[in-house]
Structure 1
């Protein structure tokens, strides 16, 4: 029986979202479509909290069974788990942060089995010259990846490797695991080869559209939800300058970090509030859901950062989820402590737990109760 797609207005307090159960991939798996619908259904009813590499390592530990800094603190894993697949393009056994892809697959399966959500970023090497994602010496890389370009064939082999890996991701139920896929992120900056100064808006949009078509139509990869992800912007026009169109993106997101001393939290919070409001309005017009795909404050020196800085900024326009970056701990080469999520004993842990206890931040068991991969009709 053909299912009728119903558009409806969801009102929760001051939130208003036009919801629709349609992904960029019309042939997406049932679980993928359900996840997309449920992310929409629950937006505004607390924010799903995410953490990069959460199950792999944390402050002072690596690869300990069933461990997580968030679980140590709150008794459960995050609701969203982030992973980076850089290295797949070179057929490496580990990603750029040293996580083995075989072990990553196990973590992804575990998260899915527990009802949590998985998301991928891809700090892809430069296919034109083989350098890292941070190589910005070329302004023709993106153009070269398009059909007819010098790096087009190479890029397709990289997408083949990515698609093959994604198709190995299956839960204990034997079903393909849906993935929130966030390619070519932070494109409004110029620190990656796909950035603002390294490509034109037309080239960027063409690359995004080709990527979706190739994965969806050629490789028949149907467990991806596509996440659009600028960083700095101050207007709707800036946000949408490189937007590939509603038929090629499912989630509207952005990345944002606080830098400097604790006193800077007021300005950061105001900027965050401004950005979520802009994104919210764009989402209403385009019938999309929203997210903060990366955020954080290294070492979180502000004990009230979660409630007084972050929550105050996002409460009026809650994204479906937010994800903080990884807890790498001490980095010898950089001689710093590199972590973005609270852990047991951290100065901001009580503040984080208060938001969690108030169900403003949702962790894994909350996502499990939402049954993110199920049809709620």
Structure 2
């Protein structure tokens, strides 16, 4: 084990971040190992931008729509990093990177797991441009440190396959090569606080074909927007692909996370009758709901908020009180070495 000593000019304190034999920080390595063992305890419940924005609010201290409903916070917080590579101040969801950085650090300090997606722009085959992109990404990730210089462990999904992005149109071999090249660049940039994952939006049974062997965690995204709601199809789709995806992850010594939700929650029994049986049957590392954003009239929400129907809130509370779900208050020791 190697200890990095960092001198903090602001408060005159020496601080350190331990490096494991893998080359990652010990907290990052512990998180990776614990993701497997924690699936025996239950599934961590989180949300994209869960503590950064919600219905009718943005970037308010100690606020989340989760907390407004159940007086608890997400165990997992997700963020999109698209735009960081180009030096933009805001990401593709119009949220400042300064907010994202501060929010992620604060969530880590409270024990949450941090998930970040990088939906990268086309570098048009220019390797130097790609290197510059990855350098900017690396600098941002490495800068995520608390006041003691402890880096925030990140689950990073590079090039999440969505069927629409330029890299989703690459051949399987070219996609894997791009992934491997980017991993090498992150290593060259001495990024030590990342677990590199593979993420894919579910579209049909031919999924996970692009899975790169270097990936250490898998995420499947399956969201229904309010314009395309089909609850029967949603249930059948989850029942079809989840067992296959979990089996695939286990065969590759990985864990599986699920990003999901039905926008506007048209069925008040969604959480209790559709999701809870899944959590009881399948071992998932986490379930992360889509983001809540906009005003009260927009309908852009995947979890309830105050005033959005008592039936939906009661359904969410059943999920919260289920023994198989882990919200922040029950998430203990994610970054500590398991004995």
Q: Give the TM bin, normalised by the shorter chain.
A: 0.7 to 0.9
Alignment of 1:30-179 (within 5 A): 30-128=26-124, 144=125, 151-179=126-154
Distance 1:123-1:240 versus aligned 2 partners, 3 A rule: closer
Q: 1:234 to 1:278 in 2, by over 3 A?
A: farther
Name 1:194's counterpart in structure 2: 167
Say yes or no: does 1:242 pair with 2:210: yes
Q: Is the 8 A contact 1:326 1:340 kept in 2?
A: yes
In 2: Cα distance, 1:113 partner to 1:53 partner:
16
Q: CA deviation at 1:234?
A: 4.9
Query: Could you tell me which residue of structure 2 aligns to residue 316 of structure 1?
Result: 281
Change (3 A) 1:261 1:58: closer
| 4+ long deviations beyond 6 Å | 260-263
Q: 1:72 to 1:301 in 2, by over 3 A?
A: same
Question: What is aligned with 1:284?
Answer: 250
Task: Name the counterpart of 2:6.
Answer: none
SS at match of 2:143: coil
Q: Deviations over 1:155-187 (max 9, x none)?
A: 110100010111111124421110010111134
Structure 2 residue 264 is matched with structure 1 residue 299 = yes
Matched, 1:256 2:222: yes
Stretches of structure 2 lacking an aligned partner (at least 5 in a row): 2-20
Query: Against the structure 1 CA distance between its residues 116 and 263, is the aligned structure 2 distance closer, same or farther, given a 3 Å change threshold?
Result: closer
Cα-to-partner distance string for 1:45-103 (whole Å, 9 max, x where unaligned): 22111111122221111222211111111112100001111111111122122222122
Shift, 1:284, TM fit: 2.2
TM-score under structure 2 length normalisation: 0.88
Contact 2:85 2:136 in 1 (8 A): yes
Confirm or deny that 1:337 pairs with 2:299. yes
The reply to whether residue 213 of structure 1 matches residue 188 of structure 2 is no
- Note if contact 1:109-1:172 (Cα within 8 Å) is conserved in structure 2: no
Asked whether the 8 Å contact 1:48–1:320 carries over to 2, the reply is yes
State the alpha-carbon separation in 2 of the partners of residues 110 and 81 from structure 1.
Answer: 11
Structure 1 unaligned runs (5+)? Answer: 2-24, 129-143, 145-150
Cα distance in 2, alignment partners of residues 161 and 271 from structure 1: 37
> Could you tell me how far 1:192 is from its partner in structure 2?
1.1
Q: How many Å separate the matches in 2 of 1:371 and 1:100? A: 30
Aligned equivalents of 1:227 and 1:344: distance in 2? 34
Query: Could you say which residue in structure 2 is the equivalent of 1:228?
Result: 198
Q: For each residue in 1:286-339, what CA deviation from the matched residue of structure 2 results, as whole angstroms up to 9, or x when unmatched?
A: 1111111x21111111101112122223431131101111111249xxx94212
Cα offsets for 1:214-259 (capped at 9, x unmatched):
102x111011111211222554xx33321111xx111122110235
Structure 1 SS opposite 2:220: strand
Within the candidate set 295, 317, 325, 1:353 is matched to 317
- SS of 2:122 mapped into structure 1: coil
Deviations 1:173-214 (A, max 9, x none): 421110010111134x2x11111xx21000000001111111
Q: TM-score, normalised by structure 1?
A: 0.79
- On the 8 A contact 1:186/1:254 being kept in 2, the answer is no
Are the equivalent residues in 2 in contact too, given 1:88–1:95 (CA < 8 A)? yes
Q: By how many angstroms is 1:263 displaced?
A: 8.6
